Chain A
Amino acid sequence: MSFGSTAERTIDMANIATFEKGTSQLLMGNEAIARGALEAGIGFAAAYPGTPSSEIIGSLAEVAKDAGIYVEWSINEKVALEAAAAAAFAGVRSIVAMKQNGLSVALDYLMGLALTGTRAGIVLVTCDDPGALSSTEEEDSRIVAKWACLPLLEPGTFQEEKDMTRWAYDLSEELKSVVLIRGVTRTSHARGDVEVGERVPPLRQAKFEPSNPLEFTSLPAPFKHLAANQKIDKAREIFESSPFNWYQGPDKPDLLIVTCGSGWFYSLEAVTALELEKSVGILKLGTTWPLPEKLVREHLSLAEEVLVVEEIDPFLEGNLKELVGEDPSAVGPIKFYGKRSGHIPVAGEINPDIVTAALARILDIEHRPVQPQYSQKALALTSQFTHGRMVGFCAGCPHRATFWSIKNAIKLDGRNGFVSGDIGCYSMAVGPAGYWQIKTMQSMGSGTGMACGFGKLAEFGFTQPVIAVCGDSTFYHATIPAIISGIYNRANFTLLVLDNSATAMTGFQPHPGTGRSAMGEPAPTVDIPTLCRALGVRVEETDPFDLTGTTDKLLDLMRDDGGVRVMVVKRECALVRARREKPAYKMRIDVERCLGESCGCSRLCSRVFQCPALMWDAEKGVAAIDSVLCAGCGVCADICPSGAIIRETA
């Protein structure tokens, strides 16, 4: 899953495989998880990149050789989980990481794995994205733990990220169950001090040897389902004494906060800010499914008012209420505050201000919240130093050129064609960056899946041409089955594979088209046009920087109502290229020729085309080029109606 950018990894970072035992290291949350896995002696790591989870497997990939482990970018999250489970079945400890939407992709297999269980330890880390900072959704993955009968851990400190991961393997092997760890953007991407332990090399005795014919199947399902429930009961007992659950506060608090993960440090900050250390207690839970019942009941009985602080859904809140409901007399009457009561929002990211406001409201304390004008003032102050700019494609991005051609082709075709979109950098074409061309966007591969449906509506009077788009990484991830379905069912659509030779949005991870593996070794290439031709469909190839050629080919494909047609629009991501070579062109404006705002141009380049490197010099009334931003792709020279943008070979 790839939407949103990831923190750039510094080149000369510390090598997480070679830290000395006992030293304190400044680690990103995701690196702490990776280090925990190394200390547990994992041998196998797999993932499909997805912000905010990508650095877990990414940092393992970088040290794979030093650590003697195997790391791969799998084609999608389901395959990653399957591959990691295979390793665990054969006795090799393994880790998989994914973002929340990735978990949905892996879910079909996860449900079967949950019943099957494991032999060696296997940990699945899901990184949720409250506020959908780099996602298309903000679902809460924790519900899966309850649904699939899997133990769930939620680290609240950087040290815990590592320690919990390390411990999760023992737990996994004791229970014979995959263990879930849930992080959020803030715990994944922030950095903190972590005292590292000893790294253990993986065992090298892999062997697949079922102890009975059905050991590595989910059958018989009712029996295995019962066993999964029993594992949860066992986990509950283990969790009663877990060091990841603790209470801080007075013996008899007026109000008890029950929290987990990032909710814990927001709560701590709020209690400290309001100086409520003497009257408010915090029960911080690291094992959130199943709940350690005795421990929780004990603390709930301390207070009559309870505030539950957690990110995204009222998962903990609901489980607490369920627990109280089982035996209300055990804890006495409790008034719950949280998401259901409206004290903590049910959508978006939470923060210390939100928790502070909730506490103040419940306890009726005078509290000066952040002024609503604050953000406006901050904006006014900072905007003098920055350019106003929309989220958009980088200078030199091939997607801008592609969507320019798509826009023009749809207009020229004149039958109200539209783009069924997908997940990747190009998703930004839902907005002005891509001229508002993408009209649907849900999940990986759904652009083509939707096209399979739109493309069958002719008998209901539907006449609009359907264009699906997907990126190269998305193509491999989830588009191939949809193409085959479309071919088989004679759906009528054109698929544009926007091949920029990178999983760009999540940080340029390699994929089956790049010829490179996660561990930096040469890898076989699965060529997209060849694959599509083998499926028996018409395939065109084009360079997006050839605007006329791309537009003409697309127009022709749109008019060719012959089932599924594919056009591979291929140009390397500008950022990937810029790391390797100098810009192809040096661009400049011939101010004599520039028509500016007048008839015949109306500032096409800076007003409509909108490359961030094209500027408008209002004083002189001519276009200008920001030479710092310009990637030298030269495309703007082809859109200028008066030849005023000059392309010089750099």
Chain B
Amino acid sequence: MSPPEIKGNLQLRADVIDRGLCALCGACAGICPYLVAHRGRIVALDDCAVERGRCYAFCPRVATDLDAASNAVFGAPFDTAPIGRVAQVLMTRAARENVRSSAQYGGTVSAIVAFAIERGFIDSAVLTKSDASVLPAGVLVRDPDDVLSHARSNYVAAPTLAAFNREARREEVRRVGVVGTPCQALALAKMRASPLENRNNVEKLSLVVGLFCTWALDLDSFTRFLAEKTPLDRISKFDIPPPPANVFQAFSDSTSVSIPLDEVRRFIRPSCNVCLDMTAEFADVSVGAAEGVEGWNTLIVRSERGRELVDAARAAGVIETDALPDENLNHLKGASLGKRRRALANIRQTTGSDDDLLYLELCAETRSRLLAE
């Protein structure tokens, strides 16, 4: 299989943005004056004339060699197992109660990121902050005490990687971690695997903490919808409690609103419908809910780097761990496979062919294994 073709800015717009496939990961933004992330969209300010651009090379929604991406992160080809490459699966939570109460679930992400900075695994981390109108954006954090200020999940898609592109340029930033969704983890893997001249300081990327993700929402339409239900500037937390609740919750200081999940699904970015990855398979560690176990996370350790960090955090007493119940693991695998199957069906429906899988450039073996599922 020849490596997937890398094209330019105009083609990225034609192949991805204009087709509604943009995941808004932010990987193409902030590396040039042409593409910027603005209020829930990637905006092309002018036409670029470069024929092979990083914007295209990094995009997780154009022809992607999953094996090359996997090799760049794990030194091994793509693992088609339901939740990807796994070194260890655990149930974890932050040891400190104030971390847990400020975080989404168990606070594992915030705890290990703060710990990684404290211990010098990384010197800074790119997280996602949200403003008073729910608009999310990437932010560089250098002080471990600031990590918790950007905890909790904003279910609106965030162009977090634009902040990586921007901040990694700084000289004082040498080892940077990124917390991101599966599309972002894939884009970062593609940055590592990119054959183009490295102008992105990707060698500074020292840790990727992936978040489980079923889908993310479109900023503009969703916030307009939400503003009619509750004042945006008072929202302190979103949650999607496990089935059978089937609701989307927005918490304010004193109140909360529950919206039927089906109403919210209308605002899912179309790009999420073709995403195969629920558990951030290209991250060093991936973190999600531990369904039914309140205040805990599911943690998948994938890379050597990830294992080292988790072991150290546990030894330092920053996180508590437990075994993930089998039932939870099976359920997670089922959900992950479910997302993969739905995405493949959507892709094949879009292209009308088994040969054209939109952005997936797979070797024969991977392809037949994925399609067989």
Contact = CB atoms under 8 A, between A and B. Distances in A.
B32 A599 contact: yes
A412 B38 CA distance: 6
A598 B33 CA distance: 12
A598 B34 CA distance: 13
Contacts of A597: 49-50
Contact of A603 (B49, B52, B196): B49
B45 A641 contact: no
B43 A411 contact: yes
B364 to A, nearest CB: 32
B33 A599 contact: no
A402 to B, nearest CB: 15
B199 A600 contact: yes
Interface in B11-46: 31-34, 36, 38-39, 41, 43-46
A412 B33 contact: no
Nearest to A639: B33
A463 to B, nearest CB: 12
Given A599-B199, A600-B31, A602-B34, A411 B45 contact: yes
A301 interface: no
Nearest to B57: A599
A608 B47 CA distance: 8
A407 B46 CA distance: 9
B44 A601 contact: no
Interface string B127-148: 0000000000000000000000
Contacts of A607: 49
Interface in A585-602: 597-602
Contacts of A414: 38-39, 41, 43
Contacts of B36: 412
Interface in B43-72: 43-50, 52-54
A5 interface: no
A570 B48 CA distance: 30
In this complex, which of B32, B34, B43, B197 has the most chain A Cβ atoms within 10 angstroms of its Cβ? Answer: B32
A485 interface: no
Given A412-B36, A604-B33, A641-B33, A598 B41 contact: no
Contacts of A598: 50, 197
B16 to A, nearest CB: 16
A642 to B, nearest CB: 9
Interface in A559-609: 597-604, 607-608
Nearest to B34: A602
A408 interface: yes
Contacts of B39: 412, 414
A601 B50 CA distance: 9
Most chain B beta-carbon neighbours within 10 Å: one of A599, A600, A641: A599
B196 A411 contact: no
Given A597-B49, A601-B32, A601-B33, A412 B54 contact: no
A431 B52 CA distance: 29
B52 A599 contact: yes
B41 A608 contact: no
B12 to A, nearest CB: 12
Interface residues of B, number: 22
Interface residues of A, number: 17
Interface string A142-174: 000000000000000000000000000000000
Contacts of B45: 407-408, 411-412
A437 to B, nearest CB: 12
B275 to A, nearest CB: 23
Contacts of A412: 36, 38-39, 43, 45
A600 B54 contact: yes
Given A414-B43, A639-B33, A641-B33, A602 B38 contact: no
B53 A599 contact: yes
Contact of A608 (B31, B38, B46, B52): B46
Contacts of B54: 599-600
B32 A600 contact: yes
A173 B47 CA distance: 64
A55 to B, nearest CB: 40
A153 to B, nearest CB: 53
B59 to A, nearest CB: 13
Given A412-B36, A412-B38, A641-B33, A602 B48 contact: yes
A600 B43 CA distance: 15
A599 B49 contact: no
Interface core residue of B33, B38, B45, B197 (most chain A CB under 10 Å): B33
A599 B197 CA distance: 9
Interface in A3-28: none
Contacts of B43: 411-412, 414
Contact of B32 (A407, A408, A411, A641): A641
Contacts of A604: 33-34, 46
Contacts of B199: 599-600
Nearest to B48: A602
Contact of B196 (A407, A599, A601, A608): A599
B222 to A, nearest CB: 16
B44 A599 contact: no
Contacts of B47: 608
A90 B54 CA distance: 75
Contacts of B49: 597, 602-603, 607
A88 to B, nearest CB: 55
Interface in B146-203: 196-197, 199
A59 B146 CA distance: 69
Nearest to A600: B32
Interface in A211-240: none
Contacts of B196: 599
B56 to A, nearest CB: 10
Contacts of A641: 32-33
Interface string A595-625: 0011111111001100000000000000000
Nearest to A414: B41
Interface string A395-417: 00000000000011001101000
Nearest to A603: B49
Interface in B264-282: none
Contacts of A408: 45
Nearest to A595: B199
Contacts of A602: 32, 34, 48-50
Contacts of A601: 32-33
B29 to A, nearest CB: 12
B173 to A, nearest CB: 17
Nearest to A412: B38
A598 B197 CA distance: 10
A193 B96 CA distance: 97
A599 B165 CA distance: 14
Among B36, B44, B47, B50, the one with the most A-chain Cβ atoms within 10 Å of its Cβ is: B50
A641 B54 CA distance: 15
A78 to B, nearest CB: 42
A602 B34 CA distance: 9
Contacts of B41: 414
A641 B32 CA distance: 7
B20 to A, nearest CB: 14
B33 A411 contact: no
A560 to B, nearest CB: 14
A639 B39 CA distance: 21
Nearest to A598: B50
A525 B34 CA distance: 41
A599 B53 CA distance: 6
A510 B47 CA distance: 39
B157 to A, nearest CB: 15
Given A414-B39, A601-B33, A602-B32, 11 more contacts: A411-B44, A599-B31, A599-B32, A599-B199, A600-B32, A603-B49, A604-B46, A607-B49, A608-B46, A608-B47, A639-B33
The 4 closest A-B pairs by CB, nearest first: A602-B48, A412-B38, A641-B33, A600-B32
17 contacts: A408-B45, A411-B44, A411-B45, A412-B43, A414-B38, A414-B39, A597-B49, A598-B50, A599-B31, A599-B32, A599-B50, A599-B53, A600-B32, A600-B54, A600-B199, A603-B49, A604-B34
